[in-house]
């Protein structure tokens, strides 16, 4: 049985993964923009969308690679926004990379990172995940 922090992380990974895939298919949000622009972001966006779901699934099944994948997926919104800002939109402030002027989404992104790197999650991942 997973500790509370990893259980919350699995649920957040699944929820974020569903919304990321829907946003990518819709072409409206952070991931969907990259469908139109292409480049390295065009490759990273669908991989990031699927890594949310894969990370949650692998953590739930006791795989350490899922924990690493979950951490990478949780950092992907910030990476994709930074890539977009520096390639296409220099006029945007640096704070946009972190919040995208949507503070509720920002709180969930930070919460996901926090529960994945929480000391309870890290010690469980180091000891019990294979």
Is 33 within a domain?
A: yes
What's the confidence (pLDDT) of residue 117?
97
Binning pLDDT at 50, 70 and 90, where does residue 127 land?
very high
Instruction: Examine the pLDDT at 24 and tell me if it is beyond 90.
Output: yes
Is 130 within a domain?
A: no
Helix (H) or strand (E) holding 107: helix 103-117
SS3 state at 92:
coil
What is the rounded average pLDDT for all residues in the chain? 94
Instruction: Examine the pLDDT at 9 and tell me if it is beyond 90.
Output: yes
Binning pLDDT at 50, 70 and 90, where does residue 38 land?
confident
What's the confidence (pLDDT) of residue 7?
96
Is 28 within a domain?
A: yes
Number of domains making up the chain: 1
Tokens (6 digits) for 30: 């952070």
φ and ψ at residue 128, rounded to 5 degrees: -110, -25
Residues of the domain holding 70 = 4-123
Strongest mean pLDDT among 38-47, 72-81, 83-92, 95-104? 72-81
Other CB atoms closer than 10 Å to residue 74's CB: what's the count?
A: 27
């Amino acid at each position: 049985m997973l500790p509370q922090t990893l259980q919350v992380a699995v649920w957040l990974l699944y929820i974020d993964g569903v919304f990321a895939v829907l946003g990518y298919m819709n072409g409206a949000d952070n991931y969907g923009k990259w469908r139109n622009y292409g480049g390295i972001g065009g490759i990273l966006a669908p991989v990031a969308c699927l890594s949310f779901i894969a990370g949650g699934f692998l953590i739930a099944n006791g795989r350490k690679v899922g924990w690493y994948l979950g951490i990478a997926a949780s950092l992907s919104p910030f990476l994709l926004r930074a890539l977009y800002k520096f390639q296409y939109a220099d006029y945007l402030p640096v704070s946009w990379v972190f919040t995208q002027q949507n503070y509720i989404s920002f709180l969930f992104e930070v919460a996901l990172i926090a529960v994945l790197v929480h000391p309870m999650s890290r010690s469980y991942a180091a000891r019990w995940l294979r």
